[in-house]
A and B are shown apart, each in its own frame.
Chain A
Amino acid sequence: MKKTPPVVGAGVTRPSDDKLVQMYREMVLCRALDERVWMLNRQGKAAIVASAQGHEAAQIGSVQALQVGKDHFYIYYRDLAVLISLGLTPTEIMLGFTAKAGEPLAGARQFPTHGASKTLNLVNLSNVVGTQIPQAVGSALASKMRGEDAVTIVYFGDGASSVGDCHEAMNFAAIHKLPVIFLCENNGYAISVPLSKQMAVDGIVSRADGYGIPGVVVDGTDIMAVYEATSEAATRARDGRGPTIVETMVERYLPHTSDDDDSLYREQEDLEEARKRDPVRILQEQLIGAGLLPGDTDSVIRNEAKRVINEATDYVDAAPYPEATDFLDHVYS
């Protein structure tokens, strides 16, 4: 899957064994959450769901390569696993999917996973594809102006890479050597439009040359590869050497959202091929191979995830919708 050689080859530590198991735990938890919210949608309890299934390694591997609480995360609607890896609880996230009171990112004013968390430096402002990219560059500019060594990472899809803002943002970041990581989750589709109709090349990384910045393509189902590429990009950014494009090649297992019918445009074979690249299973096999899931560790992890998701489901089922008493607030300071 690597198409161009990684930018920086040396000096990056592999995640520790503990961290690998932690990432696996997050991945399993996220998958269970993802399956549950899809079910809630089919039960009429969640108005809209965008699934991260197939993207989990790209999302968790990149978060874990950064410093939560210090670095800035500009994400988009498919980044459920980023939220899990940042430490949001399934209950908090599910309050978003069910649009219930107490939802922490936007008070359920927004689509699930949208809004912000000041403490986590997390911004997911908009449904308008691509708008987060220049905003992230602005965040990196602010960090640089204040002399902080915080990095901003911005997540976006292959479709988003066609938006003009993506070009404008990358160009500016390159000129000013800003501490930003452009993490593309290339799943080959923008709703129904395949990559071949999104661009004439097979990914965005070749643009890096045009901006004079490094770029790397990684197998986005391989959490080690993502972790390594993101770590190297973060090191570059913190050293004042500017932005990096990290293109993660991932799979989208489910339709674009719960409102989509992918049988209209996607071949069954294509989906079956995609399912062979399941990041959860790949990491599971790697960990078992390395002896990191001894005994019944795996089933304990899975049972724990199920328990947490069941509890969260019960909680949000019982939770009220927000009262429309303060919905006029927070327009101005």
Chain B
Amino acid sequence: MTVQTVIEAVRDGMQEEMRRDQSVFIMGEDIGARGGVFLATDGFVGEFGEDRVIDTPLAESSIAGIALGAAMNGMRPIAEIEFADFIWPTVNQIVGEAARARYGTLGQMCVPMVLRAPQGGGVRGGLYHSQSVEAIFAHTPGLKVVTPSTPYDAKGLLKSAIRDDDPVVFLEYKRTYRLVRGEVPDEEYTVPLGVADVKLPGDDITVITYGLMVHHCIEAARIIGNEGVSVEVIDLRTIRPLDNDVILASVEKTGKVLIVHEDTKLLGVGGEVSAIIAEHAFDYLDAPIVRLAGPEIPAMPFSPTLEAAFLIDTEKVSAAIRNLARY
């Protein structure tokens, strides 16, 4: 075991896969000599050369489109978008094209590509460097969407995403990059896509979350645990496909559910998770499902007080859990 940050785990995950499989390559802005703006590809160009670590022009749509074409022609590209806020030009190629390639060719074409992007706030990124984009992509059948929270998961999920034969949108919470440390095995491992993880077991209340919020939820659960309420924290890890089994098993045990995400609330992941619970575990519920999510403003504001007002933190989660416990 080695203690690593999330960004180190992401880097190692890509590096191991590039060593293992010649068809894996990475393309994006500033990923060469600069090693990526977050240093996710630090040292890559030295080890793998410019042919497999491609500094692209500033042109997001073609980063996705070229990766898609390379994937349909037998490669396993990792396309990096510098910040998720700049991902919208890729929607045409990812939602419109990559997601439909297998379906629209009766299974003849497959798209083993990963579109990686750092997302989320808490870094004073303002309106254009803080956005969460998972819900937009997660609505699309044909795509997989992954949102890791820990170094262990980030590495294991990224390796699975690279090996997967379908297009995967891999969204890394940039706030976790250097903030979150954790143990990562020295030996080879992967974490399967589509499997949620019980990050903290408990009996009274289920908290369902993912990404950066996992850490606030665990902290809040520990605080509330000292107040005599046992909280189970589930990290979805993969937003599409969702792991209904883990969600429903927990709800059937606790009967009370809080869903927490950084992304805004309306038509977000929490709405879908609520619906799954309402459809399949209604009889087990002892309280209305509660969603704690970002406010209905188009993006995260810049000033520290405004940013803090947008973001959910340990205190806000704790308060929501206490309310639910009292119901």
Which chain A residues have a beta carbon within 8 Å of chain B's beta carbons? 72, 74, 105-107, 109-110, 114-118, 123, 125-126, 128, 131, 133-143, 145-146, 152, 164-165, 168-169, 171-172, 175-176, 329-333
B166 at the interface (CB under 8 A from A): yes
Residue from the list A74, A145, A165, A333 in contact with B61, Cβ < 8 A:
A165
- Report whether A169 and B66 are in contact in the complex, using a CB–CB cutoff of 8 Å: yes
How distant is the Cα of A72 from the Cα of B73 in the complex, in angstroms? 9
Residue from the list B56, B70, B110 in contact with A142, Cβ < 8 A:
B70
B59 at the interface (CB under 8 A from A): yes
How distant is the Cα of A143 from the Cα of B69 in the complex, in angstroms? 11
Residue from the list A145, A169, A330 in contact with B65, Cβ < 8 A:
A169
- Report whether B69 and A138 are in contact in the complex, using a CB–CB cutoff of 8 Å: yes
Tell me, rounded to whole Å, the shortest Cβ–Cβ distance linking B74 to chain A. Answer: 6
- Report whether B62 and A172 are in contact in the complex, using a CB–CB cutoff of 8 Å: yes
B185 at the interface (CB under 8 A from A): no
B59 cross-chain contacts in A, Cβ below 8 A: 168, 171-172
- Report whether A125 and B57 are in contact in the complex, using a CB–CB cutoff of 8 Å: no
How distant is the Cα of A239 from the Cα of B174 in the complex, in angstroms? 43
Segment from B95-103, B146-154, B288-296 that makes contact with A: B95-103
Residue from the list B62, B67, B70, B166 in contact with A168, Cβ < 8 A:
B62
**A139-B70, A164-B61 known; A123+B109 contact, CB < 8 A:** yes
Chain A residue nearest in CB terms to B167: A332
Chain A residue nearest in CB terms to B52: A145
Tell me, rounded to whole Å, the shortest Cβ–Cβ distance linking B124 to chain A. Answer: 31
How distant is the Cα of A114 from the Cα of B106 in the complex, in angstroms? 11
A136 cross-chain contacts in B, Cβ below 8 A: 69
- Report whether A105 and B105 are in contact in the complex, using a CB–CB cutoff of 8 Å: yes
- Report whether B109 and A139 are in contact in the complex, using a CB–CB cutoff of 8 Å: no
How distant is the Cα of A107 from the Cα of B106 in the complex, in angstroms? 6
Residue of A139, A172, A332 most packed against chain B (CB within 10 A): A332
A172 cross-chain contacts in B, Cβ below 8 A: 56-57, 59, 62, 66
Q: Which 10 pairs across A and B sit closest by C-beta, in order of nearness?
A: A138-B69, A134-B65, A168-B62, A135-B69, A142-B73, A333-B165, A116-B105, A138-B66, A138-B70, A330-B107
Q: How large is the interface on B (under 10, 10 to 19, 20 to 34, 35 or more residues)?
A: 35 or more
**A131-B92, A169-B62 known; A331+B102 contact, CB < 8 A:** yes
How distant is the Cα of A126 from the Cα of B92 in the complex, in angstroms? 11
B103 cross-chain contacts in A, Cβ below 8 A: 109, 330-331
- Mark B138-162 against chain A: 1 for CB-CB distance below 8 A, else 0: 0001101000000000000000000
B65 cross-chain contacts in A, Cβ below 8 A: 131, 133-135, 137-138, 165, 168-169
How distant is the Cα of A143 from the Cα of B77 in the complex, in angstroms? 13
B115 at the interface (CB under 8 A from A): no
A164 cross-chain contacts in B, Cβ below 8 A: 61, 89
Residue from the list B62, B89, B106 in contact with A115, Cβ < 8 A:
B106
**A109-B106, A134-B69, A138-B67 known; A125+B97 contact, CB < 8 A:** yes
**A128-B97, A169-B62, A171-B57 known; A141+B165 contact, CB < 8 A:** no
Tell me, rounded to whole Å, the shortest Cβ–Cβ distance linking A151 to chain B. Answer: 12
How distant is the Cα of A125 from the Cα of B100 in the complex, in angstroms? 8
- Report whether A332 and B102 are in contact in the complex, using a CB–CB cutoff of 8 Å: yes
How distant is the Cα of A110 from the Cα of B103 in the complex, in angstroms? 10
Residue from the list B52, B73, B97, B102 in contact with A330, Cβ < 8 A:
B102
B51 at the interface (CB under 8 A from A): yes
B44 cross-chain contacts in A, Cβ below 8 A: none
**A172-B57, A330-B102 known; A134+B109 contact, CB < 8 A:** no
A118 cross-chain contacts in B, Cβ below 8 A: 108-109
- Mark B51-93 against chain A: 1 for CB-CB distance below 8 A, else 0: 1101011010110111111111111010000000000010011
9 contacts between A and B (CB under 8 A): A123-B72, A125-B97, A135-B97, A141-B66, A142-B69, A168-B57, A330-B105, A331-B102, A332-B166
- Mark B214-240 against chain A: 1 for CB-CB distance below 8 A, else 0: 000000000000000000000000000
How distant is the Cα of A123 from the Cα of B101 in the complex, in angstroms? 10
A135 cross-chain contacts in B, Cβ below 8 A: 65-66, 68-69, 72, 93, 97
B25 at the interface (CB under 8 A from A): yes
A137 cross-chain contacts in B, Cβ below 8 A: 62, 65-66, 69
Tell me, rounded to whole Å, the shortest Cβ–Cβ distance linking B308 to chain A. Answer: 37
**A131-B97, A146-B74, A172-B57 known; A165+B69 contact, CB < 8 A:** no
Chain A residue nearest in CB terms to B55: A175
Residue from the list B52, B75, B101 in contact with A125, Cβ < 8 A:
B101
B104 at the interface (CB under 8 A from A): yes
Residue from the list A117, A133, A141, A333 in contact with B108, Cβ < 8 A:
A117
- Report whether A116 and B108 are in contact in the complex, using a CB–CB cutoff of 8 Å: yes
Tell me, rounded to whole Å, the shortest Cβ–Cβ distance linking A77 to chain B. Answer: 13
How distant is the Cα of A330 from the Cα of B165 in the complex, in angstroms? 12
How distant is the Cα of A142 from the Cα of B76 in the complex, in angstroms? 9
A109-B106, A141-B70 known; 16 new pairs, CB 8 Å cut-off, are A106-B104, A106-B106, A116-B104, A123-B72, A125-B101, A135-B97, A138-B71, A142-B70, A145-B51, A145-B70, A165-B92, A171-B57, A329-B107, A331-B103, A331-B141, A332-B142
